[in-house]
Chains A and B, each alone.
Chain A
Amino acid sequence: EVQLVESGGGLVQPGGSLRLSCAASGFTFSRYWMHWVRQAPGKGPVWVSRINSDGNYPNYAESVKGRFTISRDNAKNTLYLQMNSLRAEDTAVYYCASLNEGATGWGQGTLVTVSS
């Protein structure tokens, strides 16, 4: 069973940075693409980024391109999201997700609040 546990969220001022982590277990993490999805309070999910199995091919939503960096450490079964130049509109619960047939799951999410 896919298990994903996010950490690293919190309150940050506009222009600040945060690094989110996602610890994966229950499946062969190194085989699969991984994603970050966020959900602002009272809104629907929005895809943020994905990375391929070996970490060489990231993709980003236009709204975060140039500010966020996705990466992974397959030896540690961990996915990361480095978030820089944060804005108020980045406030959301950030989910780590495996959206792969046979290995699907979402974490419980970590809340990022950008406010002065």
Chain B
Amino acid sequence: DIVMTQSPDSLAVSLGERATINCKSSQSVLYSSNNKNCLVWYQQKPGQPPKLLIYWASTRESGVPDRFSGSGSGTDFTLTISSLQAEDVAVYYCQQYYSIPITFGQGTRLEIK
């Protein structure tokens, strides 16, 4: 199984500042057929299902604000929120879909400082 490890476990950032969350996979999730990374980022608020933010590691889902961006390749990935808004308080998860079983990171709790 591919193990996904996020850092940090929790993060407090001031409004308007940048937030950075890291995700590392235990093996590469780069799909050779299309040279894309099989990694997504989700945002989850209490009582709600996860909401897709980013797929293929760096493609923003339709309707997601452009302050959210994803980067990285192979085994190391980053979710960046360029200017934190109050509504961004949530838990963020990375997930790989390169191989079965699909696996998730343990989550990063993002709060306002």
Interface residues of A (CB under 8 A from B): 35, 44-47, 50, 59, 61-62, 95, 97, 99, 101, 104, 106-109
User: Cα distance A88–B102 when bound, in Å?
Assistant: 23
B49 touches A44 (CB 8 A): no
A47 touches B49 (CB 8 A): no
B101 touches A104 (CB 8 A): no
Which residues on A sit within 8 Å (CB–CB) of B48?
108
Q: How far is the CB of B96 from chain A (nearest CB, A)?
A: 10
Interface range, B side? 20 to 34
Q: Does B93 contact A (CB under 8 A)?
A: yes
User: Cα distance A19–B55 when bound, in Å?
Assistant: 31
Indicate whether A45 sits within 8 Å of B93 (C-beta atoms), given known contacts A101-B55, A106-B49: yes
A46 touches B61 (CB 8 A): no
User: Cα distance A44–B95 when bound, in Å?
Assistant: 11
Q: How far is the CB of B100 from chain A (nearest CB, A)?
A: 5
CB-contacts of B24-71 with A (<8 A): 40, 42, 48-52, 55-56, 61
**A-B pairs with beta carbons under 8 Å apart, 19 shown:** A44-B93, A44-B104, A44-B106, A44-B107, A45-B42, A45-B50, A45-B93, A47-B103, A47-B104, A50-B100, A62-B101, A95-B49, A97-B49, A99-B40, A99-B102, A106-B49, A106-B51, A108-B48, A108-B49
Identify whether the interface residues of A are mostly helix, strand, loop, or mixed. strand
User: Cα distance A62–B55 when bound, in Å?
Assistant: 26
B101 touches A44 (CB 8 A): no
A104 touches B61 (CB 8 A): yes
Complex interface bits, B79-113 against A, C-beta within 8 A gives 1, otherwise 0: 00000000000010101010011111111000000
From A44, A61, A99, A101, B105 is in contact (CB under 8 Å) with: A44
Chain B residue with Cβ nearest A48: B101
B102 touches A47 (CB 8 A): yes
User: Cα distance A108–B97 when bound, in Å?
Assistant: 21
Chain B residue with Cβ nearest A109: B49
B55 touches A104 (CB 8 A): yes
A35 touches B49 (CB 8 A): no
B104 touches A106 (CB 8 A): no
